[in-house]
A and B are shown apart, each in its own frame.
Chain A
Amino acid sequence: MADTRADLLQGTLDLLILKTLALGPLHGWGISKRIRQLSSEVLQIGQGSLYPALYRLEDRDWITAEWGISPEGRRAKFYRLTAVGRRQLSTETESWRLFSLAVNHVLQAT
């Protein structure tokens, strides 16, 4: 599948990150790997998009960051969802559902 890095809308990326973190705190690399795994290698988030998105989300207080030790024993910065972020996640998910539903309707029209 083509590298969808450039095509991903910013808001969609935010949604993916929030959802990934809803499953548990992760460091930046872990987030990109999890998204890859969950999308069966379809969605590959480049570092150039990932980190700006992470910092943006942190600035809005939807996620918080903390330095910790990775399972491999290395020092890494872990991100976690905040309560506000959790609320935002459900809002964004709902918006996405409506959006994709609408797009489907248009595509199915004959």
Chain B
Amino acid sequence: MRWLARVRRRVKLLLRRADVEREMDDEMRFHLEMEAEELEHAGHDPAEATRRALREFGGLERYKDDARDSRGGRWMDDAAQDIRYALRVLRQSRSFSTVAVLTLALGVGANTAIFSVVRGVLLEPLPYTEPERLVDVSSVMQGRHTSVSPPDFLDWRSQSRSFSRLAAYFLSTTNLIGVGEPERLTQARVSSNFFEVLGVSTQLGRTFRSGEDEGSAPRVAILSDGLWRRRFGADPRIVGKTISLDGFATEIVGIAPASIRFPDGVDLWLTTRFEPRDVAASARGARWIGVVGRLAPDAVLAGARNEMAAIAGRLALQDPSHNEGVGVAVVPLRENIVGDVRAPLLILLGAVGFVMLIACVNVASLSLGRTAAREAEIAVRTALGANRSRIARQLLTESLVLSAAGGVVGLVLAFVLTRTLIGLSPGDLPRLDTVRVDVSVAAFALALAIASGALFGVVPALHFSASALHDRLRAGGRSGSGGTRPASARARRLLVVAEVALAIVLLAGAGLLLRSVAGLRAVDPGFRPGGVSTFTVSLSPVRYPHADEQRVFAAALLDRITRLPGVDGAAVTFSLPLSNSGFGFTFEIRGRPVVSGPSEPRAQVRVATPDYFRVMGIPLLRGRAFTAEDRAESPQVVVISEEAARRYWPNEDPIGQVITTGWGREEKGKRFGGEIVGIVGDVRQFNLANGPTPHIYGPFAQRPLDELTVVMRASSPASTVLAAARNVVRELDDELPIYDARTLDDMVADSVAQRRFYALLLAGFAALALMLAAVGIYGVIAYSVQRRRREIGVRIALGATRERVVAMVMRQGIVLVVTGTAIGLAGAAVLTRLLRGLLFSVTATDPLTFIAAPVLLVGVAVVACVLPARRAGGVDPAVAIRSMD
């Protein structure tokens, strides 16, 4: 408790200085009076008494000073004094202070915003119990991770010892009916022990009980916190009630806590309810679920990996037609979720760190310039008794005050920037919900500000020396012509070179990324997205249980939509290209031996109505597409893509051949396939960067589905068409929500969204760096011109033309820029290698970018030098020579 009283005293000292001083005065005066009184009683006359008392007392002020010293907290006094002085000085040079604070604020703001993203996405631990023991288990085929098949999952669960629990999950969608507007929700179907694996319990109600994931168990659901608040008003009584999902009555048994969002984007969890055909031995090749597990208490990752490799080997031997060459990957869950974005985010963090360095360099350079201008003031202070460390402390305090101000403004800026970043970021950036400006982020901003303040404050503080100041005072400023350059000017030039180098690196990186995005956008997706919009509906299995109902609905839907004004054509399919989804199977070609394992033919499999290719703008290359004649009872036909023809019929004509895919294998006699009647152009299915994938298309009429994606080509604007389509759907079925309504142009743009995000951010940093570098160059050149005014005046008086003066100044600037550029290009050549994962169609040392970046920088630098150069040319020799700098 003692220290509390002490702290209170110190605070009082600091804040109520005047009161404390007055108290001391009162105390001393009292003493003085008592002293005088005593002397009076001893017989002295009053005036004499007072004089003697005063003498005894001796220089009041001196003792007060000693008294003050012993009060403790002297350093606080000094610091307060330093800060007050710093504020006064900074207020006097308003332009410098404003530029410095803004520059620092930009640096701190940008860095803090990126740090908040990095902290949330990469650093913050997952909100589960002991999250480091959670792993994602997936199958590996041909070196790539793929989903898992339910039979494999069950075998892993029964055979492995390394995991205390394993749970399966897969995402799908469901229609919520009967609670206001029907809505499509993202549902995660999970094993009954899913929440136990994660180690979380519900905030209301219960988690799933064992056995509830059997196919015959009653339907139960756990709502996410978001859905509960949004659709059910956070009403606790919803637990135990029943809702209608896809027409099935489902009981709500619990509400999950707000922090749980796994899998990403989930609205509610239901149980897997595998059908017998899902887990049959013949379904081992159908890989469509995810598996998450918790390591057993005595297990380690390496051991788990070994065990799973052994189990995979056993399964491959046991069922080679499905599992030959199929391995298992065990990856920590966090890695699985954020692994892809770790590298780009860290690169961005590094890039924005460069920006901060440039900002510090700029402010240091500005400070140096100011310090040089304040030489007289500092010399006077030195003469009055300030020692070198005291003055250095003063300068450092000024820097810290500046950086504190920059930090505060930067924090506000970071707040805005973080919001903007979250808004602009691609939808698939994981864990975005954890990104926010909180205490740790604010602490980062503060630490960064103070560190920068120390960094650039040290430069001017170290820079002057007492003896040099003496000389300067005496010399009266006659130096500063071409011969002796003060060290501060050289330091400033070095700083500019450093700035330019850093800016070049950023420009090169940004240029490479921008070219990559442009390259991607230039790739032909294989279809013509312009003017086409799309939406999807998911037919309830209750209302449309069979193929006939689905066929009828699709026909009615298309019929009405094609009659809408402005619509040129419409078709039904599912899983559009570049929509981040796939549906692939192996297939057999009649007349060829069946191949198993990695070299088995595989293709993306789709069904579509006859107008699909026309609406999408996919060219028909040979043969024919579907027609209305290809009905359910007609012979089965398919159309394949060019890539499929190229890969699997390299030397023969595929038309007329018959293929059978693995789709529908579990329903005897209903495997999807048919005679190839046509070849169409390729489309990029997964992303623009990879080559085309083989496709097999069949007529919708011969194999209808319950998930219909409608594409419409129209001359009216998309919003009108989609609104009209929504009405059409509602007329046909008022319990059917539409979702994923968008234009194909947007869909294509979204497919490059992540890369574009990084490219734009890096470009933003590069632009910032360029601007700062330009300001830095301008500052140095302008300062140099000002210092050399006399020399310039002499030159002009001696006959130099103005043009030559301008050229001289420009040359000085260009030399700096070229030096910095050379260093920067060397650095860029090394550092851009880090970007390799993000690049497309350009190499890490792309010549075009590496030429364009310096050209841009030199151009900006020339503009920055022009103004002071012209001012140099305009120097009046008579005035300049006579002036005493």
**Contacts from A to B (Cβ < 8 Å):** 27-29, 32-33, 46-48, 51-53, 55-56, 59, 61, 67, 70, 74-77, 84
B67 touches A52 (CB 8 A): yes
A52 touches B66 (CB 8 A): yes
B7-33 CB contacts (< 8 Å) to partner A? 9, 23-24, 26-28, 30-31, 33
A29 to B: closest C-beta gap in Å: 4
Residue of A nearest to B27 (CB): A77
A34 to B: closest C-beta gap in Å: 13
B186 to A: closest C-beta gap in Å: 64
By a CB distance below 8 angstroms, the chain B residues around A84 are 2
A61 touches B30 (CB 8 A): no
Residue B234, interface by CB 8 Å: no
Q: Which of A48, A52, A55, A74 contacts B30 (CB 8 A)?
A: A74
B30 touches A51 (CB 8 A): no
State A70–B34 Cα separation when bound (angstroms). 11
- Those 9 A-B pairs whose CB atoms lie nearest each other, nearest first: A52-B70, A48-B63, A29-B34, A29-B31, A56-B70, A59-B72, A51-B67, A61-B2, A52-B66
Residue B277, interface by CB 8 Å: no
B508 to A: closest C-beta gap in Å: 60
Q: Which of B6, B24, B30, B72 contacts A27 (CB 8 A)?
A: B30
By a CB distance below 8 angstroms, the chain A residues around B72 are 56, 59
Q: List 11 A-B contacts (CB under 8 A).
A: A29-B34, A47-B56, A47-B57, A51-B24, A52-B67, A55-B67, A56-B70, A75-B26, A75-B30, A76-B27, A77-B23
B70 touches A59 (CB 8 A): yes
Q: Which of B9, B31, B33, B62 contacts A28 (CB 8 A)?
A: B31
By a CB distance below 8 angstroms, the chain A residues around B478 are none
By a CB distance below 8 angstroms, the chain B residues around A56 are 70, 72
Residue B58, interface by CB 8 Å: yes
A48 to B: closest C-beta gap in Å: 4
B802 to A: closest C-beta gap in Å: 69
Residue B51, interface by CB 8 Å: no
B552 to A: closest C-beta gap in Å: 92
Tally inter-chain residue pairs, CB-CB below 8 A: 61
Q: Which of B26, B35, B69 contacts A29 (CB 8 A)?
A: B35
B45-92 CB contacts (< 8 Å) to partner A? 56-58, 62-63, 66-67, 69-72
State A48–B70 Cα separation when bound (angstroms). 12
By a CB distance below 8 angstroms, the chain A residues around B522 are none
By a CB distance below 8 angstroms, the chain A residues around B63 are 47-48, 51-52
By a CB distance below 8 angstroms, the chain B residues around A28 are 27, 30-31
Q: Which of A33, A47, A55, A67 contacts B58 (CB 8 A)?
A: A47
Residue of A nearest to B60 (CB): A47
B750 to A: closest C-beta gap in Å: 67
By a CB distance below 8 angstroms, the chain B residues around A51 are 24, 27-28, 63, 66-67
The main secondary structure of chain B at its interface with chain A is helix
B69 touches A47 (CB 8 A): no
**Contacts from B to A (Cβ < 8 Å):** 2, 5-6, 9, 23-24, 26-28, 30-31, 33-35, 38, 56-58, 62-63, 66-67, 69-72
B28 touches A47 (CB 8 A): yes
State A55–B28 Cα separation when bound (angstroms). 13
Q: Which of B27, B34, B35, B66 contacts A48 (CB 8 A)?
A: B66
State A46–B62 Cα separation when bound (angstroms). 13
By a CB distance below 8 angstroms, the chain B residues around A29 are 30-31, 34-35
Given A27-B30, A29-B31, verify A61-B67 contact (CB < 8 Å).
no
Q: Which of B27, B34, B58 contacts A46 (CB 8 A)?
A: B58
State A47–B54 Cα separation when bound (angstroms). 11
State A6–B794 Cα separation when bound (angstroms). 66
By a CB distance below 8 angstroms, the chain A residues around B2 are 61, 84
State A67–B24 Cα separation when bound (angstroms). 12
State A8–B68 Cα separation when bound (angstroms). 20
Most buried by B among A59, A67, A75: A59
Residue of A nearest to B10 (CB): A59
Residue of B nearest to A57 (CB): B70
Most buried by B among A52, A53, A61, A74: A52
State A84–B57 Cα separation when bound (angstroms). 31
B523 to A: closest C-beta gap in Å: 76
By a CB distance below 8 angstroms, the chain A residues around B26 are 75, 77
A61 touches B62 (CB 8 A): no
By a CB distance below 8 angstroms, the chain A residues around B5 are 61
Most buried by B among A28, A33, A47, A55: A47
A44 to B: closest C-beta gap in Å: 9
Most buried by B among A55, A70, A74, A77: A55
By a CB distance below 8 angstroms, the chain B residues around A32 are 31
B829 to A: closest C-beta gap in Å: 62
A47 touches B31 (CB 8 A): yes
A69 to B: closest C-beta gap in Å: 11
B520 to A: closest C-beta gap in Å: 70
Residue of A nearest to B66 (CB): A52
State A77–B57 Cα separation when bound (angstroms). 18
Most buried by A among B28, B33, B63, B69: B63
B70 to A: closest C-beta gap in Å: 4
A38 to B: closest C-beta gap in Å: 16
Residue of A nearest to B72 (CB): A59
Residue of A nearest to B68 (CB): A55
Q: Which of B38, B62, B71 contacts A55 (CB 8 A)?
A: B71
By a CB distance below 8 angstroms, the chain B residues around A53 are 70
Residue of A nearest to B65 (CB): A52
By a CB distance below 8 angstroms, the chain A residues around B34 are 29
State A98–B56 Cα separation when bound (angstroms). 34
